[in-house]
Amino acid sequence: MPVYLLQQAERRTEYQEDVEKKKQELYAEIDSFQIKDKTQVNTLKKFLSDREIWNLQDMDYPLRISYERYLKENRNPNSVLWHLRIYDAIKQQHIYQQMQTLSGKRFYEWKYQQKIFYLKYYPDQQIAESFKYVKKLKVLVWDFSKNCSEILKKQIFNTLGQILNNTAVSDRYRNKRLQALKILYDSCIHQNITDIGILEIEQYENICMDFRKSGNESLDNQLSIIGACRRIAFMQQEHIQWNATVWYLDRFHLGENRIDKSKSLNSISFMEIKEKQNREILQAYMKYELGVTGQAVSTINRRFMCIRNFLKMLEQKRTLAIHATAEDLSDYAKVLLEHHVQAKGFNERIYSIGHFYKFMEVCEYIPRMPFRIEYFQQKVLTVHHDRSVEEIVYMEVLKKLYLFPERLRCMFLHLWCLGLRASEVCTLKGNAYYQQGEDCWIQVYQVKMKNYKKIPIPRALYQLMKIYLKKNEIQPEEFIFQNTKGGACLYDTFRRQMLKACRENGIANGEYIFRSHDYRHTVATMFYDNEVSLQSIRDYLGHTYEEMTRQYIDFMPKKIAQANEEFFSTQENSLASWLRKGEQDAK
């Protein structure tokens, strides 16, 4: 035999021996999982060896698709699903085994790759097995090898990871979120959206249309995935994406003294401004407001809303912000007056626009201010509103308070006893109460004033709250009245729950409309009626000026009535004596 033929025969023999060795190792590894269904296991062994798949790491979703086609061609169609279950079970067991080693953890680490991810092969066993009974397998298949924006794919991938790792929700809810994210992903690809962070309002509306076409129930809950994805994209950027159409305030790490934790404000939207130049200037302005001014976020947001509304009006007139004139501001002022905006609110809106244009002038977007704000401002007349709660009403609330939920009872007592702002009650912490000698005190952070105040409180309230803190295991730095995420109770939630409790318990025959700030007026008025000085009431309420305190004292009707009674109670001032005096003067 020629030498070269002998060499080829030797190579074939070595190759066959090597193949046989790899085959035996593969079969041994599969057998180690002790799968009882031998027929299905043997079919899989043959499939893998025929394709020279010697490592179970190479069993991925594309190979699973190939195996499914193979089964349909060579096996009873009714048995295909069962064979695929065995494929999945062996792959899962391999993953869980490999996750016990350092090299296996590195290989199966959940990280972005341009490939197809199958969630039944998720490295966390508990999460992977939660998809065992999912019927719509499409929701478990995530293709990041598609020909679309890498930025978009990474944003979807990051959102997918957060959904999977949210162990606080049920499997059913997680699957619904996955369905919603799948619709969002497909819609973005269809619209050629490259970045969720710079989503335009027209694109957002088109995505909403795709959600409606999908026929999913609870549309609002499904649509919330857009905000969730956009938030994750904004928060996880290496550098702040200043051109994003929605900013999320958590990214800016603003001081706690600037944020009202009882309010749900967590984002600022620029989507409503369609003109690119207007939006860029407004974004530059908000960057200055948030980063330089140090003002409360609620104040900044009110100003922002005023400016945004003005810019929207300009865009309706097809006018750029840099080309606005005094006539444009005059037109906006007319709109405000037509909507019966009071003088104080009117001036706030006009001042906000002026502040924005002064910024534009300083930053040289415009050569000079196009209008004089003082020409538009209105005179503010002080109007006193009698807002004190009637005694018969709050006494009825107190009598029925035991029927209210425990948390609402405690929150209400802080309003009725102390006249705190609702935001202050919602953000109280476990270290708020203390005792000095025989006196009990509370330390309150005034969100509106950005400072603390300390005021005395009734001993009964102090004792009640100490019991509440111990019972609910509230730590010193934790919020006493928490939301579901452990943060401060939102004011809107508190008010909604109080309205419901008052209605259900028939306060004022079910017609009483709870307004938390009314109790602040009530406390101020009760103090004043009991001869407490205006200065003391001011300090107790936490006001800076007495003029503000006077607005909280509803004393006029009661004081006038008392003065009338005292005046006419004397004999010389009686109504009869005045009538007789009038008759004498007539003579």
What does the alpha-carbon distance between residue 14 and residue 11 come to, in Å, rounded to a whole number?
A: 5
pLDDT given for residue 221 in this prediction: 78
pTM comes to 0.82
- Which letter, b or e, does each residue of 445-455 get, where b requires 16 or more Cβ atoms within 10 Å of its Cβ? bbbeeeeebee
2 pLDDT more than 50: yes
What does the alpha-carbon distance between residue 274 and residue 382 come to, in Å, rounded to a whole number?
A: 39
What does the alpha-carbon distance between residue 463 and residue 471 come to, in Å, rounded to a whole number?
A: 12
| 439-446 and 267-269 strand pairing | unpaired
The answer to whether the Cα torsion of 437, 440, 443, 449 is positive or negative is negative
Range 53-77 average pLDDT: 92
Three-state SS annotation for 472-491? CCCCCCCECCECCCCCECCH
Cα distances from 164 to residues 119, 125, 217, in angstroms, run 9, 12, 21
What does the alpha-carbon distance between residue 485 and residue 417 come to, in Å, rounded to a whole number?
A: 28
- pLDDT-wise least confident of 41-55, 176-190, 205-219, 500-514: 205-219
Q: pLDDT for 466-479, tens place per residue?
A: 999 999 999 999 99
What does the alpha-carbon distance between residue 194 and residue 416 come to, in Å, rounded to a whole number?
A: 54
DSSP string, 70-128: HHHHHS-GGGHHHHHHHHHHHHHHHHHHHTTSHHHHHHT-----SSEEEGGG-SSHHHH
Cα distances from 29 to residues 35, 91, 152, 417, in angstroms, run 11, 11, 39, 73
Q: pLDDT for 138-164, tens place per residue?
A: 999 999 999 999 999 999 999 999 999
Q: pLDDT for 21-39, tens place per residue?
A: 888 989 999 999 888 888 8
Q: pLDDT for 256-290, tens place per residue?
A: 888 888 888 899 999 999 999 999 999 999 999 99
Q: pLDDT for 308-319, tens place per residue?
A: 999 999 999 999
Q: Residue 394: pLDDT band by 50, 70, 90 thresholds?
A: very high
Q: What is the DSSP letter of 272?
A: T
Q: Residue 85: pLDDT band by 50, 70, 90 thresholds?
A: very high
How is residue 76 written in tokens? 């009873």
Q: Residue 534: pLDDT band by 50, 70, 90 thresholds?
A: confident
Closest among 425, 443, 442, 398 to 494, alpha carbons compared: 425
How is residue 130 written in tokens? 């939660």
Direct distance between the N- and C-terminal alpha carbons of the chain, in angstroms, rounded to an integer:
160
Read off the amino acid at residue 522. Answer: T
Q: pLDDT for 339-365, tens place per residue?
A: 999 999 999 999 999 999 999 999 999
pLDDT given for residue 383 in this prediction: 67
14 pLDDT more than 90: no
Range 85-111 average pLDDT: 93
Q: pLDDT for 570-585, tens place per residue?
A: 555 554 454 455 555 5
Give me the helices (H) in 191-325, please.
201-214, 219-235, 276-288, 297-316
Q: Enumerate long-range contacts of 210-217, CB under 8 Å, 24 or more apart.
A: 210/183, 210/186, 211/180, 211/183, 211/187, 214/183, 216/179, 216/180, 216/183
133 pLDDT more than 90: no
What does the alpha-carbon distance between residue 88 and residue 424 come to, in Å, rounded to a whole number?
A: 55
What does the alpha-carbon distance between residue 268 and residue 484 come to, in Å, rounded to a whole number?
A: 23
What does the alpha-carbon distance between residue 401 and residue 382 come to, in Å, rounded to a whole number?
A: 36
Q: Across all residues in the chain, what is the average pLDDT? A: 89
| Three-state DSSP state, 18 | helix
Three-state SS annotation for 301-330? HHHHHHHHHHHHHHHHCCCCHHHCCHHHHH
Residue 203 phi/psi, 5-degree rounding, is -65, -40
Report the helix count and the strand count for the chain, using DSSP H and E. 24, 7
pLDDT given for residue 484 in this prediction: 86
Task: State what percent of residues in the chain have pLDDT above 90.
Answer: 69
Range 375-385 average pLDDT: 80
pLDDT given for residue 321 in this prediction: 96
547 pLDDT more than 60: yes
**Residue bearing tokens 């798949």:** 53
564 pLDDT more than 60: no
pLDDT given for residue 167 in this prediction: 83
- Which letter, b or e, does each residue of 261-296 get, where b requires 16 or more Cβ atoms within 10 Å of its Cβ? bbbeeebbebbebebeebbbbbbebbeebbeeeeeb
How is residue 244 written in tokens? 């994003």
Which residues make Cβ contacts (< 8 Å) with residue 90, sequence separation at least 6? 30, 33, 35, 41, 44, 56, 59
Which residues make Cβ contacts (< 8 Å) with residue 294, sequence separation at least 6? 255, 258
560 pLDDT more than 80: no
Range 513-531 average pLDDT: 90
Range 68-76 average pLDDT: 90
Which residues make Cβ contacts (< 8 Å) with residue 396, sequence separation at least 6? 507, 508
Q: Residue 386: pLDDT band by 50, 70, 90 thresholds?
A: confident
83 pLDDT more than 60: yes
Cα distances from 510 to residues 30, 40, 500, 514, in angstroms, run 70, 68, 10, 11
Range 206-232 average pLDDT: 86
pLDDT given for residue 549 in this prediction: 82
Q: How many CB atoms lie within 10 A of CB 563?
A: 10
Q: pLDDT for 365-376, tens place per residue?
A: 999 999 999 999
